[in-house]
Amino acid sequence: VTIHRGDYRPPEWQVPDIALDFALGIDETRVSARLSVVRHADAPAPLLLRGDGITPAEVRVDGSVWNDWRMEGGDLIVDLGERTAAMVEVDTVINPATNTQLMGLYASNAMLCTQCEAEGFRRITFHPDRPDVLSRYRVRMEGDKAAFPILLSNGNCVEQGAGEGGRHWALWEDPWPKPSYLFALVAGDLVVNRDSFTTMSGRKVELGIWVRAGDEDRTGHAMQALKDSMAWDERVYGREYDLDLFNIVAVSDFNMGAMENKGLNVFNTRYILADPDTATDMDYDGVEGVVAHEYFHNWSGNRVTCRDWFQLSLKEGFTVYRDQSFSADMGSPPVKRIEDVRLLRAAQFPEDAGPLAHPIRPDSFQEISNFYTATIYNKGAEIIRMMATMVGPERFRKGTDLYFDRHDGEAATCEDFVKAIEDGAGIDLTQFRLWYSQAGTPRITARIATDERNGERTLHLTQVVPATPGQPEKAPMLIPLRIKAYDLDGGHGVEEEQLVLLDRTEMAVPLGHYRSPPMLSLNRGFSAPVIVDFAREEGELEWLAANDDDPFARYEALQQLMLDTLVTAVSGKASDAGAVVDAIRQTLTGSAADPAFVAEAVLLPSEAFIGDQMVIVDPDAIRRERLALQAAIGTALESEWRAILGQLAPAATLLTPLAKGRRRLRGVALAYLAATGMGDASELAFGIFSGADGMTERQAALATLAHGDSKERAQALDIFYRRYRDNPLVLDKWFQVQAWSLRSDTVAAVAALAEHPDFTLTNPNRVRALYGALSANQAAFHQADGAGYRLIADLVLALDPKNPQTAARMIPPLGRWKRFGDARAAMMKAELERILAQPGLSRDVTEQASKSLLG
Ligand code: ARG
Ligand code: ZN
């Protein structure tokens, strides 16, 4: 069944209050729900309560047993006759232990926890379960005190006590009305890291991070990130926290990163636990970013929520933009921007260019879980960023203030957000709204024309928004481009950056008088999520890579230079590494440069991104040419790389941006040296691996060794495994580095690792570590005999009956078949067909596989 955005109707019944009573048990939990319902429809209408895999033990209305109900699919329809209000009670029994979908109430490591977004609440009890039905929750939970010493839910704990036979109970109340997707409950044997934060109005908030015993020493970074986020949201958006308690619980088995349940965030352990011995600098940044993201949802998501799931980007795009801005402020803004753009290009551009392309506000879906995508999240964030760029920070803040004022306590739409920015910031966003409805990455071409008589230069821009499934024709978008034209012989005077608003198919922008052709810096800071084609003269990219005053533009110029060289080589033409080597040398020796920026800038584009530049991707040629260029750079700059590695590594406990940057650059230097195949490279890597005092250097060295076939490789993998076999998050890394390997036998290695006693399909992190890494390994996944495709399809079929959400996330790489030539396309389509032929396939996998097959 396809659900359409245009079919939205306001709910006929609201549920202003709800009381839940849980009798907890790992393999049997009894749930009694009391819903006070109020009719909003003018005429009598049956009460539709959604259910998924549950049956009502008993239904009561206003205190009496009620028989006027029926099931429709999984849903419960209660006929309330002429009533305009009623108290509806339903009892259900669920089994958390067998809930392998990890949606609803489930067991993870002997603890009970919930995940309700988007439609998991209906797996706990019957409810309208739509985000525009907001209720005040009162939750009583009772269970065995030994098994579940800690009982948590949203809001405040108002009462607790002991019960019969070693049982105990707690009563929680959340004063803020909320949609059912924000409900949460946790019960288990947990320890807490406590702290507090005093808000700007002087409210003291108790903070708690709850983990399994033994993990508490690894929660310090998450706690600091939480306090920093709370202060940042006050300072930058004027948003204050609104409860006396803020709890976070970390669980090992979790489908996504984390969840913003009101006052009780639930996290994947990988975004909470960090210490220098087990987490890399990147892991640390991930913790900080996700803690901030979930905290920021308290306003962008919880206080103002979504009317329906088509509006998902209302909260996700805005919240990603907010967490990106926070992380930029906590570290280096240019480096953060580079990382965000790299992710956008790696995950979202391919989505926009493939069969699953959808606008940030989709028009239809079959399964909403399939729409927690890079488009909704990351492109959504870019759309918010463009609005902020066009109006500047002060006016943008006026817009967001108005948005929060107007819609506090409401379930809002993307249109409400845009309107608030329009009214608050004072800008007309009529045409800009197309970013919400049109899918596809716009392509801009740029060209500079010269009037030979007077030296006047004009920038000619064109835009094309490519056709996407269901959207053959596109209208021109409003695209804000930050540009600067550098004058190399001083005839023009001071150059100023300007913001060009490209709002039509073709546009001419007068640049003024330049004696010699200006150096054009275009889409500075990546001001718009577009692809730019600009035929450069020789030497231009080198000049910009060295001289542009926008660090992102410097990065971009060097990347483009590398990309041009690689694409030329892959297409079989003679290419010369000389310009790339010189530009990298320049970047390395630019004295004031931040090492994190240098590390990002000198890194070669990924195999996948090189492939994205080609009509038909040749994964083997890309691997070969990328390795060859890497080796050439490694050799030509050997002494530079050795000098970087020769310096003392910063102590792993030192987490300043500078220390992190230096470690990152050391990792890049090691990879370049190893690519040369120099005799001592494995020894060097093994030395770093063994001597490392933290995970950043240790993992970088291990990943480098994993590409080769030295005896040190086997040794290091073995040492690593034995040291960390009892730490699931680190063991994930052990699986991951092997699946990332550039060796030619990686597909076979992944197949063997899937049989390893530590591999399990029940933990999504482990599945992603092994199979997710394989699909990200372009030449391995696209191995010519189709073994990579087969392995992924086998996984999807094995995982779907247990966890359809995570299974469906593995499908998109198979949907890119159009781009990989006939032979590969036939094999990829055959695997999609094999998946679709499986009886009893989930809605999640059916939607992704059938859309992917259409191409
Ligand atoms: N709202 C969560 C976040 O962005 C994501 C939860 C999605 N969960 C899911 N099962 N689809 O942080
Ligand atoms: Zn989110």
pTM over 0.90: yes
Of all residues in the chain, the percent with pLDDT exceeding 90 is 98
Residue 572 pLDDT exceeds 80: yes
Query: The dihedral of CA 314, 315, 320, 323: what is its sign?
Result: positive
Give the total residue count for the chain.
Answer: 855
629-666 pLDDT tens trace:
999 999 999 999 999 999 999 999 999 999 999 999 99
**Collapsed DSSP state (helix, strand, coil) of residue 322:** helix
Ligand 1 near 561 CB (within 6 A): no
Q: Does ligand 1 have an atom closer than 6 angstroms to the CB of 294?
A: yes
Write the pLDDT tens digit of every residue in 618-628.
999 999 999 99
Cα gap 69→828, rounded to integer Å: 47
From the CA of 242, how far away is ligand 1's center (Å)? 22
252 lines ligand 1 (CB under 6 A): no
Predicted confidence band of residue 591 (pLDDT cuts 50, 70, 90)? low
> Is residue 592 predicted with pLDDT exceeding 80?
no
Protein residue closest via CA to atom 1 of ligand 1: 259
pLDDT tens for each residue of 352-371: 999 999 999 999 999 999 99
Q: How far apart are CA 795 and CA 790, in angstroms?
A: 8
Per-residue pLDDT, averaged over 296-317, amounts to 99
How does pLDDT run across 41-95, given as a tens digit for each residue? 999 999 999 999 999 999 999 999 999 999 999 999 999 999 999 999 999 999 9
- Looking at residues 449-457, what average pLDDT do you find? 93
Looking at residue 802, what DSSP letter applies?
Answer: T
Q: Please, what is the average pLDDT of the chain?
A: 98
Q: Could you count the other beta carbons within 10 Å of the beta carbon of residue 4?
A: 11
pLDDT given for residue 590 in this prediction: 82
User: According to the model, what pLDDT value does residue 490 have?
Assistant: 77
The DSSP annotation for 701-769 comes to HHHHHHTS--HHHHHHHHHHHHHHTT-HHHHHHHHHHHHT--STTHHHHHHHHTTSTT--TT-HHHHII
Tell whether ligand 1 has an atom less than 6 A from the beta carbon of residue 803. no
Which DSSP letter does residue 101 get?
T
Identified catalytic residue from 142, 260, 294, 382: 294
**Is the CB of 323 inside a 6 Å radius of any atom of ligand 1?**
no
Tell me what ipTM this predicted complex has.
0.97
Q: How confident is the model at residue 855 (pLDDT cuts 50, 70, 90)?
A: confident
- DSSP 8-class letter at 507: E
Instruction: Return the pLDDT at 495.
Output: 82
Task: Report the sign of the C-alpha dihedral through residues 473, 478, 482, 484, in that order.
Answer: positive
Is the CB of residue 844 below 6 angstroms from any atom belonging to ligand 1? no
Q: Taking residues 497-526, report their average pLDDT.
A: 96
From 106, 229, 256, 806, mutation site for ligand 1 pocket: most ligand atoms within 8 A of C-beta: 256
pLDDT at res. 287: 99
Q: Which ligand is nearest to the CA of 256?
A: 1
- Residue 37: the pLDDT is 99
Q: What is the pLDDT averaged over residues 380-401?
A: 99
For residue 778, report the distance from its CA to the centre of ligand 1, in Å: 27
Among the bound ligands, the one closest to the CA of 120:
1
Beta carbons within 10 angstroms of residue 101's beta carbon: 22
Protein residue closest via CA to atom 6 of ligand 1: 259
Q: Where does the pLDDT of residue 492 fall: very low under 50, low under 70, confident under 90, or very high at 90 and above?
A: confident
Name which of 823, 816, 853, 822 is nearest 835 in CA terms.
853
Q: Is the pLDDT of residue 494 over 80?
A: no
The residues that bridge with 18 in the sheet, in sequence order, are 35, 137
- Asked if residue 805 has pLDDT above 90, the reply is yes
- On the question of pLDDT at 766 being above 80, the answer is yes
Q: Give the span between the Cα atoms of 42 and 10, in whole angstroms.
A: 12
Q: In the block, which residue shows the tokens 């110029």?
A: 557
- What digits encode the pLDDT tens for the residues 721-765? 999 999 999 999 999 999 999 999 999 999 999 999 999 999 999
Ligand 1 atom 2, closest CA: 259
- Phi and psi at 814, nearest 5°, equal -70, -20
Per-residue confidence band for 819, with pLDDT thresholds at 50, 70 and 90: very high
Active site residue 294: yes
- Is it the case that residue 812 has pLDDT exceeding 90? yes
End-to-end CA distance of the chain: 20
